[in-house]
Amino acid sequence: MRKLNRFLLLLAALGASAFLSQGCGPPVKTWAEYSKELEAQGEVLDYRRSIPAPIPSEKNFAHSPLLKPLFDYEWNTELTEAKHRAPAELDRIQELLKIDLEDSPEIMRWPSGQPVDLSAWQKSFRKKAALPKPGKTGEIFKELLEKNGISTDDKPELPRTWPQPAEPGKPAEDVLQALGVFAEEMTELTRAAMERPLCRFDIKYEATLFATVPHLLVLRHFAECYALRAVARLAAGDREGAFADTEMVFFLADCLAGEPMLLSQLVRKSVLEMALQPAWEGLAGGKWTAEQLAKLEKHLGRIDLLADCRRSLLSERDQLNQYLETLFKLQDSGKEAPQIFGDLKDKPHWFLDRNRVRINEIYMKFSRHLIDSETRTINLEVAAEQTRYLEENKLEIDHLIASIAAIGLKPVARGFGDGQSIVDLARIACLLELHKLEEGIYPEKLAGLDEQLPTDPYSGKAYLYSTLPEAEKTGGYQLYGIGSNLKDDGGRIVLTEAGWVEDEEGDLVWRYSPPPTLLKIPKPGEN
């Protein structure tokens, strides 16, 4: 899961090597000249400014015994290649809390107003269950191999089996029994989070585009496992255990909050979306106490995905600048330069120089204007303009690297805009429930909450809310944002054929029941 993969795939699609063989004159403006202009405008061109500060190891969740070996890498002098010192240990960590089911059911169903289907999870676990004697299947298989002269000493672990009762019981209880295979590790991780409340993974930021990020997939595994257990615990009547697991998923998202890389923030957003499933189910069922609701609201109120998106876009620019600086130094010293953007070994400095200028021009022209920090809004037209610009210039020699390396703003804008919207809606939902617990009814207007509420990042206006009678089917009120289509669709959601909420159509709705009608995206060619 390395960032350079993105560039390699794009290069293959564009056939970059062919274009690099073209000749071109020297740049009109050199990087030395342009960088002075940027600095005169107050721009700080240093990737190091975004690197999170070190924290004491004894307070660092990433340094807990289960996770510390994750970043035990040995780097070459140029910081372009890394080799893990203990590959088996790396493999072990990457399998922690991994739910490896072939037909894993969906864990995020709240966008369409539905709880997790625990019955489906129960069936999936039973397909790979150790039914006769939990944990015995692997031993029997190993014994058979050895009887036939096949050593198992150096072989990977046998496929995981999930403990289940001989006959299906209540779905929630059977799911909890299956997840019991992770009980020891989950207990240790939960304790580590309490004892080590801060988190900073040992990313080699100096390696820029070559930095390894194995923790991202690991944290996703953790989040899914804790979220599922939280939902199952809630269904089984264990409110306190469910809330503790929900808090753990939010904590895992917080572990990525300080990382300046865009990929880290996208994974963080994904983890937050998983955390919202048990939070939503507790809200839908009226199962959280006032104290728990207040904790959730406070945590949600601290999340600013828009600011983190803006920061990560700047960091990506700075990392690209540093990467190109590394190429210059390697070429000048006669060392082999990493070939991400095609064969650059024989290409003159002006080629890299000009593309470096273009990368920064694209950032200054588009990326830095995508999010308005003062109004807390996203400018989708900026993203559209960047898309047009990159398409029009992708074959120009001085745009070749820039067109590939530039972060496409359209999916970024939609991803973070939607992410911030749902976090805001969840926070408002907590405040609405707290109001109902105190007053016995929901307020007629959001202004009745007596709180400084967030505004919709797409419209810059208040989120839409009503207690109209027709909203009773959705939990007594209707609460939504307009989404990336920038239209008020009356609180309707649109589902794809696969049952996913279509993020470019309809509204972003916080509801407690499935939509009365499934509004599906028409197929190409349909009216």
In this structure, the dihedral spanned by the alpha carbons of residues 310, 328, 1 and 17, taken in order and rounded to 10 degrees, is: 110
How much is the mean pLDDT over the chain? 86
Q: What is the reported pTM?
A: 0.87
Q: Kindly state the average pLDDT of the residues 26-41.
A: 86
> Helical H runs in 128-259?
136-147, 171-179, 183-195, 215-235, 239-254
357 vs 353: CA distance, rounded Å: 6
Instruction: From 144, 189, 182, select the one nearest 160 (Cα to Cα).
Output: 182
465 vs 508: CA distance, rounded Å: 12
Contact 354, 398 (CB under 8 A): yes
Residue 339's pLDDT band (boundaries 50, 70, 90)? low
Instruction: From 521, 526, 489, select the one nearest 507 (Cα to Cα).
Output: 489
Q: What is the pLDDT of residue 14?
A: 34
Q: Kindly state the average pLDDT of the residues 14-23.
A: 37
| 274/154: higher pLDDT | 274
Least confident of 54-63, 234-243, 419-428, 436-445: 436-445
Q: What is the pLDDT of residue 142?
A: 54
Instruction: Scan for tokens 């999930």, then name that residue.
Output: 162
Contact 196, 58 (CB under 8 A): yes
Q: Which is it for strands 494-495 and 519-520: parallel, antiparallel or unpaired?
A: parallel
Contact 261, 315 (CB under 8 A): yes
Q: Kindly state the average pLDDT of the residues 74-90.
A: 93
Task: Please say if the pLDDT value at position 134 is more than 70.
Answer: no
Q: Kindly state the average pLDDT of the residues 12-41.
A: 64
Percentage of the chain exceeding pLDDT 70: 83
Instruction: Scan for tokens 């140029």, then name that residue.
Output: 78
Residue 213's pLDDT band (boundaries 50, 70, 90)? very high
Q: Kindly state the average pLDDT of the residues 207-231.
A: 96
Tokens of 157: 């672990």
